[in-house]
Amino acid sequence: MRASTRVQPKPPSRPRKPSSRTASPAAAPARKAPRQIRSRATVDAIVDAAARVLRQDGYDGTTTNRVAEVAGVSVGSLYQYFPNKEALVRELLERHDRAMWTVFTDQSTCAIGRPFAEAVPAVIDALFAAHLVDPQLHQVLHQQIPRVGALALLHATSVRSRAVVEGLLQARTEEHQRGDDVPTAALVVVESVEALIHASIALPPAQANAVQRHASELVLGYLGVARPGT
Amino acid sequence: MRASTRVQPKPPSRPRKPSSRTASPAAAPARKAPRQIRSRATVDAIVDAAARVLRQDGYDGTTTNRVAEVAGVSVGSLYQYFPNKEALVRELLERHDRAMWTVFTDQSTCAIGRPFAEAVPAVIDALFAAHLVDPQLHQVLHQQIPRVGALALLHATSVRSRAVVEGLLQARTEEHQRGDDVPTAALVVVESVEALIHASIALPPAQANAVQRHASELVLGYLGVARPGT
Amino acid sequence: MRASTRVQPKPPSRPRKPSSRTASPAAAPARKAPRQIRSRATVDAIVDAAARVLRQDGYDGTTTNRVAEVAGVSVGSLYQYFPNKEALVRELLERHDRAMWTVFTDQSTCAIGRPFAEAVPAVIDALFAAHLVDPQLHQVLHQQIPRVGALALLHATSVRSRAVVEGLLQARTEEHQRGDDVPTAALVVVESVEALIHASIALPPAQANAVQRHASELVLGYLGVARPGT
Amino acid sequence: MRASTRVQPKPPSRPRKPSSRTASPAAAPARKAPRQIRSRATVDAIVDAAARVLRQDGYDGTTTNRVAEVAGVSVGSLYQYFPNKEALVRELLERHDRAMWTVFTDQSTCAIGRPFAEAVPAVIDALFAAHLVDPQLHQVLHQQIPRVGALALLHATSVRSRAVVEGLLQARTEEHQRGDDVPTAALVVVESVEALIHASIALPPAQANAVQRHASELVLGYLGVARPGT
DNA sequence: GATGAATGAGTTTTCATTCAT
DNA sequence: TATGAATGAAAACTCATTCAT
């Protein structure tokens, strides 16, 4: 006779404030892919502005309104392309990591075939070089971004460069002395080198260079590889 | 080589109300030196509560009201002893560093007289031990606290342990091979060891132990010291 | 060796925007119970202001900021006592229903013992009277408040008066002719009477009175009860 | 007796941008009378989409952008044909009412010549039938749409069916006992029946049918007409 | 001294509406 | 005419800090 229909619109009907984290902000819908040329430019302007603001004001000083302002667009436009602040930062992070990764692979791949005592420093230098893509931004991204929360970030470059080092060590076990525990060795190498890189960012150029040289020696000594010149 | 960039954002990072009194919150006068017993007890309660809240809820989840509540006092009391949130965190940080320093010196001083190949691992182990004082809190303090803002923190333990290492290396140049650049060597040693410590905090116990052992070997190799058992 | 501690502060660390509905807004913590006299006054001011704004501007026109302004307090104070807008409205609703229920029971209980043909009109009149507590507010509360969402309201008075009617019909089945389906009869009675009440709110007094008289006759006819004067 | 209060809030309830053209959005000129076939098709698509979205997401979940998307057109096109959101909803409302009215008249006109005791139930059943045109949409339209604002809706079917009932009662005063106040009687009849219809929408079919039967008896009893079977 | 109620600027996010293409 | 990118006022809610009691 009558439809037992019940209007049951999605309970909250519309999460006014997705709480910037209502459900799983990480899974927030990628909102919209810019199709026209104009919108692509807008997206770039926004991401660039985000980088600028992040560099200058740090993570806490970065507000979506400020980013939009610096980008020369309205907040509305920002939210047209990024469902929330986190998604914006994630996009920036991904771009940054992509750039770093490009530099790293460009410089390291050619070195892998060379003798171990040369390959290792080459890889380490490549890692140093990758961090020079945008050291200021890198610092903010890696030191200030909430390690907690939905984006307990990917640090793609770290992870992937560890994989590269692990592969290298695994493939040539007879050329070094850490074959008994390669995963730990890779961790030790990458973590210490990264620490030295981050430390050197804040150093005057001269000492930064010294640190970079020492980084190679640190690793070679650890791996039990005779240094080239010795 | 590298940019000597430093993130230097809007000073107080969050001066909601321009604090009619504290122009530079970092230099804010410790509102009051608690002399009476009750005051001292109150201050302790507040700092302890801050530690608890920080550990549990992370930096963002830590509000002055919550800290006061957990401490069992009113916000007003909190502000009686700390001119602002930052000062409270700084106090906590200092206490934490003092505790770590105590552990470190307790364990390392006795080792200094011993042969180099024993002294170095002892110092490193002392550093590891020091980080076990309160790893959870340590992590929050070092990863989540805005490195920017008036308190671009002191990391006293890092700084002082570097001095200790530097002193050690300087005093016994003939027992190792880094005498040509002791300051850099100290930096390299302390930075990489700390990185390994921080990494090991998130590791399962077994691998954490492996990492600790490797840390000593890393450093001994770098310093060109024959390992004890060899 | 090392604590496998992991700083895992509640994922979202702090639902910045409980989304006004993040989890179950209905279950939102009742924030704080006012202890001092001052705060009780504040709460009353807020609820009163909410009633005023609701009456004047309707549900959509009611913003928390406006309510606070009208109450002569800051938004912060409002949120000190009510976790979100919904909770405020719910409180108002409860107060309103309590007031209506008081009027209804005051007027209806004494009538229950009387002969059916008198008791029924008395109950109906009591229902009319209850709606006069604050007709304007009642209208907003019952017509404009989202029937969907966490608060698909309680309409306590409706529900409870239906129970009263059902009890009355059940207790005296031989005095009317709807004993075969008392629940439906109660529903029919209460729903139609309420509809007439709501309609009469918008009517000029004269016709409103006529409607009220007819309401009793409607119900008596339906129940098959001879009217008093006949 | 009762306050002739009427909620009369800030007119357009949400005039985001003071719409440089539409002073009174209610009176906004139907931006364009679609004469061409394509236009008509577009308008239909938009209105149909509005109905779908309204049914699914409720009033709050309905945004003009979403409607356009579902309709497969751009927002721009939507605003080509409707000066604002309200106009769109009004159009939908009118269509819905027209459909209901068609059903109502189809079913009720043939019954008007029959004896009173049959005509009345026929009219009531026609009213029930009319509400089955789109109960979900009907519910949203009548419960969620801001009753305030420029469109404090027309409820055309209600109004017109009251006229029909009033005409019926007026024309055959000697067949019932409410001849002394026909307008009130018509109001009473239509308001209570509509209330029962709305209540029955949310009921399980079995009880909904019971309510429908009782509706006729309620009205017949009120009008003092002997029921057919009696 | 202690208390805790009050403050309000600032943050994220939404969505009706416009207008350049 | 259609498109869809852009706009920006406004809403809900937070939290460091103050100050009357």
Residue A147 distance to chain D (closest CA, Å): 34
| Set of chain C residues whose Cβ sits within 8 Å of the Cβ of D195 | 191-192, 194-195
Token readout for C215 is: 């309401």
Least confident of D19-23, D61-65, D129-133: D19-23
Name the percent of chain B lying above pLDDT 70: 78
Q: Is the pLDDT assigned to residue A43 strictly greater than 90?
A: yes
Q: Where are the alpha helices (DSSP H) in B109-181?
A: 116-131, 135-139, 156-171
Closest CA to E16 C1' — which residue?
Answer: D16
Give which of B52, B57, B63, B209 to mutate to test C binding, by max C Cβ within 10 Å: B57
Token readout for D162 is: 């009251």
Name the percent of chain C lying above pLDDT 70: 79
Token readout for A135 is: 């050291």
A34 touches strand F (CB under 7 A): yes
Between CA A218 and C1' E15 the distance (Å) reads 58
Token readout for A190 is: 């990458």
Nearest CA among A144, A137, A120 for reference residue A192: A120
State the Cα–Cα distance between residues C80 and D140, nearest whole angstrom: 34
Give C95-116 pLDDT, tens digit per residue: 999 999 999 999 998 888 888 8
Position with higher pLDDT, A228 vs B121 = B121
Query: Residue C2: is it exposed, middle or buried by C-beta count within 10 angstroms (0-12/13-18/19+)?
Result: buried
A85 touches strand E (CB under 7 A): yes
D window 50-79, beta carbon within 8 A of C = 58, 60
Token readout for A225 is: 């590889």
Contacts of D among chains (3+ CB pairs under 8 A): A, C
Interface membership of B17 toward C (CB under 8 Å): no
Q: Is the pLDDT assigned to residue C171 strictly greater than 70?
A: yes
- Rounded to the nearest 10 degrees, what angle do helices D205-223 and C205-223 cross at? 110
Whole-prediction pTM value?
Answer: 0.83
Position with higher pLDDT, A221 vs D146 = A221
Nearest to B143 among A55, A147, A200 (CB): A147
Q: Taking all residues of chain A, what is their mean pLDDT, rounded to a whole number?
A: 82
Indicate the SS3 state at residue B8. Answer: coil
Confidence of residue A229 (pLDDT cuts 50, 70, 90): low
What pLDDT was estimated at residue B157? 84
Q: Is the pLDDT assigned to residue D49 strictly greater than 90?
A: yes
What pLDDT was estimated at residue A9? 36
C38 touches strand E (CB under 7 A): yes
Between CA A42 and C1' F8 the distance (Å) reads 17
Interface contact flag, D4 C207, Cβ < 8 Å: no
By C-alpha distance, the chain C residue nearest D11 is C57
Kindly state the average pLDDT of the residues D38-44: 88
Nearest to B192 among A195, A203, A208 (CB): A195
Least confident of B169-183, C68-82, C178-192, D106-120: D106-120
Residues D10 and C62 sit within 8 Å (Cβ to Cβ): no
What pLDDT was estimated at residue D12? 36
Task: Give whichever of C38-42, C74-78, C83-87 has the largest mean pLDDT.
Answer: C74-78
What pLDDT was estimated at residue A110? 87
Q: Is the pLDDT assigned to residue B227 strictly greater than 90?
A: no
Q: Is the pLDDT assigned to residue B180 strictly greater than 80?
A: yes
- What are the angstrom distances between the C-alpha of B117 and each of A43, B112, B161, B211, B216? 57, 11, 18, 18, 10
Q: Is the pLDDT assigned to residue C26 strictly greater than 70?
A: no
Q: Is the pLDDT assigned to residue C17 strictly greater than 50?
A: no
Between CA D12 and C1' F3 the distance (Å) reads 28
The structure tokens 């709460």 sit at C43
State the Cα–Cα distance between residues A141 and A112, nearest whole angstrom: 29
Residue A78 distance to chain C (closest CA, Å): 19
**Nearest nucleotide, CA D66 to C1':** E15
Interface contact flag, B146 A144, Cβ < 8 Å: yes
Between CA B52 and C1' E14 the distance (Å) reads 37
Give D123-144 pLDDT, tens digit per residue: 999 999 999 999 999 988 887 7
**Nearest nucleotide, CA A79 to C1':** E13
Residues B156 and B101 sit within 8 Å (Cβ to Cβ): yes
Contacts of C among chains (3+ CB pairs under 8 A): A, B, D
DSSP sequence for chain D = ---------STTS--SS--SS-SSGGG---S----SHHHHHHHHHHHHHHHHHHHHHTTTT--HHHHHHHHTS-HHHHHHH-SSHHHHHHHHHHHHHHHHHHHHHHHHGGGTTS-HHHHHHHHHHHHHHHHTSSHHHHHIIIIIS-SSSS-----HHHHHHHHHHHHHHHHTGGGSS-GGGHHHHHHHHHHHHHHHHHHHHTS-HHHHHHHHHHHHHHHHHHHTPPPTT-
C14 touches strand E (CB under 7 A): no
Give B204-224 pLDDT, tens digit per residue: 999 999 999 999 999 999 999
State the Cα–Cα distance between residues A103 and A129, nearest whole angstrom: 7
Task: Give the distance, in angstroms, between the CA of residue A46 and the centroid of all CA atoms in the same chain.
Answer: 18
What pLDDT was estimated at residue B34? 58
Chains D and C touch (3+ CB pairs under 8 A): yes
Residue A190 distance to chain C (closest CA, Å): 21
Give B7-35 pLDDT, tens digit per residue: 433 333 333 333 333 333 444 455 555 55
Kindly state the average pLDDT of the residues A28-37: 61
Q: Is the pLDDT assigned to residue A211 strictly greater than 80?
A: yes
What pLDDT was estimated at residue B22? 32
Q: Is the pLDDT assigned to residue D4 strictly greater than 80?
A: no
| Set of chain C residues whose Cβ sits within 8 Å of the Cβ of D194 | 195
For residue B93, which phi and psi values (nearest 5 degrees)?
-60, -45
SS (H, E, C) A90-154: HHHHHHHHHHHHHHHHHHHHHHCCCCHHHHHHHHHHHHHHHHCCCHHHHHHHHHHCCCCCCCCCC
Between CA C15 and C1' F15 the distance (Å) reads 13
Query: Residue D49: is it exposed, middle or buried by C-beta count within 10 angstroms (0-12/13-18/19+)?
Result: buried
Chain A to chain B Cβ contacts (< 8 Å): 129
- What are the angstrom distances between the C-alpha of B169 and each of A121, A227, B105, B163? 25, 22, 17, 10
Q: Is the pLDDT assigned to residue B184 strictly greater than 90?
A: yes
Q: Is the pLDDT assigned to residue A8 strictly greater than 70?
A: no
Q: Taking all residues of chain B, what is their mean pLDDT, rounded to a whole number?
A: 83
Confidence of residue B154 (pLDDT cuts 50, 70, 90): low
Confidence of residue C32 (pLDDT cuts 50, 70, 90): low
Between CA A78 and C1' E13 the distance (Å) reads 11
Closest CA to F13 C1' — which residue?
Answer: C17
Query: Residue D80: is it exposed, middle or buried by C-beta count within 10 angstroms (0-12/13-18/19+)?
Result: middle
What pLDDT was estimated at residue A38? 74
Q: Is the pLDDT assigned to residue B53 strictly greater than 50?
A: yes
| Set of chain B residues whose Cβ sits within 8 Å of the Cβ of C7 | 55, 58, 136, 139-140, 143-144
Closest CA to E17 C1' — which residue?
Answer: D17
Chains D and B touch (3+ CB pairs under 8 A): no
Interface contact flag, B203 C2, Cβ < 8 Å: yes
SS (H, E, C) A23-84: CCHHHCCCCCCCCCHHHHHHHHHHHHHHHHHHHHHCCCCCCHHHHHHHHCCCHHHHHHHCCC
Residue D226 distance to chain C (closest CA, Å): 11
What pLDDT was estimated at residue A151? 53
Closest CA to E8 C1' — which residue?
Answer: C74
Interface membership of D218 toward C (CB under 8 Å): yes
Least confident of A19-23, A101-105, B112-116, D12-16: A19-23
Nearest to A9 among D56, D201, D205 (CB): D56
D76 touches strand F (CB under 7 A): yes
